[in-house]
Structure formats: structure tokens, C-alpha cells
Amino acid sequence: MGKHGRAAGRVTRHRYPVLAAGAVLTVVGVSLLLLAGGSPGTSVLASGESPGIASSSGTAPSGILIHGCLKSGILSSVSVTGTPNCPSGATGISWSAQQLMQPGSADTASGTAVTPTGTKTDPPGSTSTGTSPSSSHSGLYFGLAPVGTSLPRSDAYCAAHVEPQPETVPANTTANHTMPSGTVQWGPWTQRISFFTEGEVDGDFTGTTGEILEWAACKWGWSQDYAMAEAVRESSWQQSEVGDNSDSYGILQVRVSRAGDPASTNSGWGGYPWVEKSTALDADAQMAYLRACYDGDTPWLGNGYTAGNAWGCIGSWYSGDWLSAAAEGYISRVQAVLSSRGWTKL
């Protein structure tokens, strides 16, 4: 495993409008679907990204520019004839229909391109209830939200939108249905990330192992496939996994203490014993770190660190630095699991 941390100052987050999903535009008689639901691997709209489109023929009309107004996450005044006069506070936006067919990403590691998939937005006023998934599932797939997306989404929102998944690791059942009680003692490394200092990492969810990973990916705007693959690499989806000489715990191996310190000292990321007892808290904490890294809030990683590189962030969870040889090796191993969809073979 080998997760480490380095000294740095307190980080801040930036919040920007989120592009609402689920809109359907009708342009020159062709239905342009902005959000495609369905199975993993289907490209769907990511909050703040140019949307992908589809037509009955599967081909985008070439040369068409789609214009609209964006305000408070809502797309309106859609036109193909020119940029509309947007109301006060709204931003005029345009897309090329040809470009929309293949949304791309600047997110790379080791020269490997990553194609973003979709995320869902959190409705205003949502509150955390810790409830399990409801019956009103959207059938959508959570993907990597762009840098600057307003996160985290609420626990309750993500609980209501995860898709039911069977339990493939029955040994996780107790931990999957355990949420922290009382105060979680986080360690000094979390003081660098405001998600932790503001109490937003809480593990407030119960479900199957797959549902928990999807819930955490929803909450932090992370790719659920990345989460699934990394959990295979870290623990083979076993919440009982203990690594780094009893310093790291859980399905995504949160390093609770520095090398040589008892786990109970919580001298690293901390969270012990709850990151051992609660699958949801373990996943919540790890993906909160990844989101902070992706947003540019972990400058202590050094070595040319920059925001917007998901694979670089995944590598740093293992190595504690930016795109070192150890990080690159870990990235390759997780990418191999992702390519084979190893979590479907557990």
C-alpha cells in the first residue's frame, strides 16, 4: 500500500454553477439527447461539461452550433440560429454539434487519455438522512465531475440515486451497515483539506459494497468505475483488509497513522476505528481526498502537480507524491483492473 502525507497549509474549495442534466433539445428535427442513462461505459453528461448527443441515425448534423443561456445550473433559451439575449446573471454558451458527439478530457496519466462520463447534480436544499437507496432510481452512471464543480453532493441525494447492486462480498455486510456514532477523530493530514475540517466526510450511508462505492463516487463527483477498480486493487473489495503494517484500513485503505505509530493514535489521515468498522466512511474519506487533489487543493504533492488529472491523484493516494515511479506503477495496476472490469469478476 504505502500511503503517505506531507505538510501543507489549509486548502480551500471553489464553487461554480453546475450544468443541469436530463435536458433534451430538438434541433432541425433531430432529437439531441443530452444525457444518456444506462450501463457502465455509456457516455453521459458530466456536470459543467459539454454534453454528448445522439440522434436516430447515430450521426450528429455537421456544422450546427447550439446556443443557450446558463444560469444557476439551468440551460434555457436554446437556439441554433444565434446566441440568444440572455437575462441578467445568465451566461451565453455555445457548442458545436460535431464536437458534442465525442466529449473529451485533458485528464491523462502516463499518456493514457481518459474519457469523462456523466454525473448528476444535487438539488438545492437536500439534507443528509443516511437513508438507503430509494425506489426512485434514475438509471444514470456517475462519472468524473469537472474541476470546480460544487461538491459534495448531499448524502441523501446520492443515497436516493444509486442503482441497486447485489452483494458480492458477504463478509462486508456488517461494515456495510455500520455508520459512525459520535465524533470521528481525524488525523493531522486531514487539516489540509477543508472537506474534513468542515465535517463533510461522515459515512452517512448503508448498502451493499457496490452501492457504497457508487454513493461515495456520487458524493464527490468521482468516476464510479475508477472507485470500483481502485477498491479491487487496494483490498479485493474486502473492508476487513489491513495493510501497511496495521496503519491502513478498509476497502480503499485509509492510512490512519504514520509508520510505526499505533492505529489508535490517528497520526495520519485518522478516522480509526471507524474507517475499519464502516465501509461507507472509508470510501467517503478516500474519495474526499481524491476530489481535493483533482480540484487542485493538494499542492504539497509537488513534482509539477496540477489540478484536473484524476490518474495522477489516484497514484498519489498510493505514493504520497505526484507521478513518481511508484505512483505510475500503481496507476498502471489500477488501469489494468479498470480495463478488465475486475470488480465484475469477484
Residue 231 placed within a domain: yes
Which one-letter amino acid corresponds to residue 151? L
Residue 102's pLDDT band (cuts 50, 70, 90): very low
> How far is Cα 224 from Cα 227, in angstroms, rounded to an integer?
5
Instruction: Enter the DSSP assignment of 149.
Output: B
Please state the domain count of the chain. Answer: 2
Biggest alpha carbon distance in the chain? Answer: 67
Q: 251 and 340: one domain?
A: yes
Q: 264 and 329: one domain?
A: yes
Q: 268 and 178: one domain?
A: yes
Q: 163 and 290: one domain?
A: yes
Q: 169 and 303: one domain?
A: yes
- The predicted model gives 331-335 an average pLDDT of 98
Q: 318 and 170: one domain?
A: yes
> How far is Cα 144 from Cα 310, in angstroms, rounded to an integer?
8
> How far is Cα 60 from Cα 346, in angstroms, rounded to an integer?
39
Residue 206 confidence (pLDDT) = 98
Residue 164 placed within a domain: yes
Residue 94 confidence (pLDDT) = 59
* Enclosing domain of residue 267: 155-345
- The predicted model gives 166-171 an average pLDDT of 96
Residue 82's pLDDT band (cuts 50, 70, 90): low
Q: 90 and 183: one domain?
A: no
Domain's final residue, options 108, 139, 166: 108
- Greater pLDDT, 63 or 243: 243
Residue 28 confidence (pLDDT) = 31
Residue 191 placed within a domain: yes
Q: 166 and 41: one domain?
A: no
Task: Compute φ and ψ for 40, nearest 5 degrees.
Answer: -55, 145
Give the Å distances, CA to CA, from 108 to 45, 111, 112, 251, 328: 19, 6, 5, 25, 12
Under DSSP, is residue 173 helix (H, G, I), strand (E, B) or coil? helix
Give the Å distances, CA to CA, from 329 to 8, 9, 108, 115, 332: 25, 28, 15, 21, 5
Alpha-carbon dihedral angle through residues 319, 324, 330, 336, given to the nearest 10 degrees: 160
Question: 314: closest CA among 325, 304, 323, 302?
Answer: 323
Q: 202 and 308: one domain?
A: yes
Task: Compute φ and ψ for 282, nearest 5 degrees.
Answer: -60, -50
